[in-house]
Structure 1
Amino acid sequence: MALFKLRSAVKREPVVATVPRHIAIVMDGNGRWAKKRFMPRVFGHKHGVDALVRTVKASADRGVEYLTVFAFSSENWKRPQEEVSGLMGLALATVANHLAKMTTEGVRIRIVGDLSTVSDKVRAALAQAEAATAHNTRIHLTVAFNYGGRWDVLQACRRAIEAGVAADQLDEARLAQFMALKHAPDPDLFIRTGGELRVSNFLLWQIAYSELHFTDCLWPDFGEAELDAALVAYAGRERRFGGVEAAEPAAAADALTTSGS
C-alpha cells in the first residue's frame, strides 16, 4: 500500500495516509460546467480533458498505481448528435495533444469498451495511444470508451462460453479473467463528481467492495484538492469485505482529525 503526505488547509504537520492502488472515476458535470458559462457542452468536455491530465499526474505523484475513468458510456450515444461528434473529435485531439506528455511521464494507457461501433479514425487513435505507452509502468490509465458495466459482464460470459468453459467450472475468479479490466485489481476507491449519487452502469462487477466517494465538484474543476479530500475520506474507512474486523487501519484519518487538537 502506497503512502503519501497530506497537508490540511491550516498549517499543520503533514499526515502520512494510505493510498488506494486503484481509483475509478465517473467524470461528471462537464455539460453543466459549460452551461453555467453560457457555452456549448463540448466546451465543458474540452476543459474536462485538462482536469483528466491534472488528475493522472496528481494520482501518479501520490502513488496510485491504477486509474480508470469513464470517458464515454454505451448510453452516451443517446445524446445530441452534435455532442457525440464533438466527443469523438475530442478523443482524436486528446491523443494528438497529450500522448507525448503522457508517454514521457510514465503513463500506460489502455482502452476498454466496445470499439466496434466507433469510427476507424477514432479506433486507430486509441490503438496508437495504447501502443505508444505499452512500455510504461508508473501509472496505468484505463479509459472506458463506449463502455457499460452490463455490457462488460455479458461480453465476459460470451467469451467464457466461446473459450469452452463448462458451467460447473465457471466461478468468480474464472469469469474475472474475461472481464474488460482483467489487467487491474478491483478499484479500492470509486469517485463520482458532479453531485449525482449513482454509479451509472460503470464497473458494476469490479466495484462490488469499492469505497464510494461523491462530490458536488463539477469535473472540469477537479484538481489536487478534491483528489486529496477523497483520499482522506478513503483513509478513514474500515474495509471489512463482508467480515467483522477492518482489513485496513483508519489511523491516518484519525491522525488528521486530532493533529490540530
Structure 2
Amino acid sequence: MDDLFNNDALPVHVGIIMDGNGRWAKKRNLLRTNGHTEGLKRAKEIAKAASDIGLKFLTFYVFSTENWKRTEQEVGFLMNLIHSYLLKEFDFCKYNNVRVRMLGDKSRLPENVRKDINQIEKDTENLTGLTICLAINYGGRDEIIRGVKKLIAEGKTESEISEESISKSFDVPELPDVDLLIRTGGEKRLSNFLMWHSAYAELLFSDTLWPDYYKEEFFKDIGEFQKRSRRFGAVPV
C-alpha cells in the first residue's frame, strides 16, 4: 500500500455514496436485491481496509430520505438487510476496534432497526479506532433542519447561533468535516449527502459500480486525494 499513498497524510473523514447496486445486478440479470447484498459485502471490505490504514471516520450513505420513494418490496428488503446485518457485525467491530454511529432520523425506521442501531451504538461506544457512521434515513438538508429546530427548542438566542453551535446540534456532533467524498456508479452529484460537512470536501467520482469497488481502488482514490492542493478559499503564496 505504501506505493499507492502516503500513510502519514491520510484524510480524517471519508464519505462514500455507494451507488450502482441495482445496475450491477441488472447487468447480470439478477434482482436488484442481489446487488444490495453484494454491495453490503463491499462495504465491509472497505471498512476493514479503512480500519487497517488508520482512518478516523468513514461515513456510508446507506439509505436516504428520498429512498422511501422506491418500491415497497425494495425498501422492505433494505430494512431487513440492515436488521440482519447490524448485530451480526459486533465481533467484526470489536476485533477491529471500530465504533458505529448513525446519521439520520430514526423516527421513521422500523422498530427492530431502531433497536439494532441503538444496541450496536451502545456496544461499540468505547471502541477507539475507526468510527463508521451509517447514514440511514438521512438527508443533508433534513439534518440541518432538525439541528436548527433542536437549537430553537433549547432556547438559543441569535447571538448563540454559530457554525460551531449548529455543528454540535447534528446527529453525530463530533463528526468532522469531510475531507474526501467518493461516489461510485458514474453519477456526478451529491444527492443530499452530508451537505454541511462537505463544504470543502475533495470530490471524486468513480465509474465503478459499488459492488465492483474493491479496496485497491479505494487506496488509489486516497492517493489521488493526496495529490490535490486544498486551499480552503485562500490564495496560495
TM-score, normalization by structure 2 = 0.96
- 2:73 alignment partner in structure 1: 82
Structure 2 residue 223 is matched with structure 1 residue 227: no
Structure 2 residue 137 is matched with structure 1 residue 141: no
CA distance in 2, matches of 1:16, 1:175: 32
Higher-Rg structure is: 1
Specify the code of the residue in structure 2 equivalent to 1:184.
L
- Verify the 8 A CA contact 2:6 2:226 in the aligned structure 1: no
CA distance in 2, matches of 1:56, 1:90: 17
1:131 to 107, 116, 122: 122
Equivalences, count: 237
Specify the code of the residue in structure 2 equivalent to 1:46.
T
2:107 to 111, 116, 129: 116
CA distance in 2, matches of 1:102, 1:15: 25
1:63 to 51, 54, 70: 54
- 2:190 alignment partner in structure 1: 199
Query: After the TM superposition, which parts of structure 1 deviate over 3 Å for at least 4 consecutive aligned residues?
Result: 14-17
Q: What's the secondary structure of 2:62's corresponding residue?
A: strand
Q: What's the secondary structure of 1:142's corresponding residue?
A: strand
* Contiguous gaps of at least 5 residues in structure 2: none
- Identity of matched residues, %: 38
- 1:6 alignment partner in structure 2: 2
Q: What's the secondary structure of 1:6's corresponding residue?
A: coil
- 1:153 alignment partner in structure 2: 144
CA distance in 2, matches of 1:193, 1:58: 17
- Verify the 8 A CA contact 1:106 1:139 in the aligned structure 2: yes
Normalized per residue, the structure richer in helix is 2
Structure 2 residue 83 is matched with structure 1 residue 92: yes
Specify the code of the residue in structure 1 equivalent to 2:35.
G
Q: C-alpha offsets along residues 123-158 of structure 1, whole Å, 9 cap, x if unaligned? A: 111111111111111100000100000101101110
- Verify the 8 A CA contact 1:22 1:64 in the aligned structure 2: yes
Between stretches 94-103 and 186-195, larger displacement belongs to 94-103
Q: Larger relative contact order (C-alpha < 8 A, sep ≥ 6)?
A: 2
Give the root-mean-square deviation of aligned CA atoms. 1.5
Between stretches 76-85 and 31-40, larger displacement belongs to 31-40
- 1:175 alignment partner in structure 2: 166
CA distance in 1, matches of 2:154, 2:160: 12
CA distance in 2, matches of 1:76, 1:97: 24
CA distance in 2, matches of 1:50, 1:18: 27
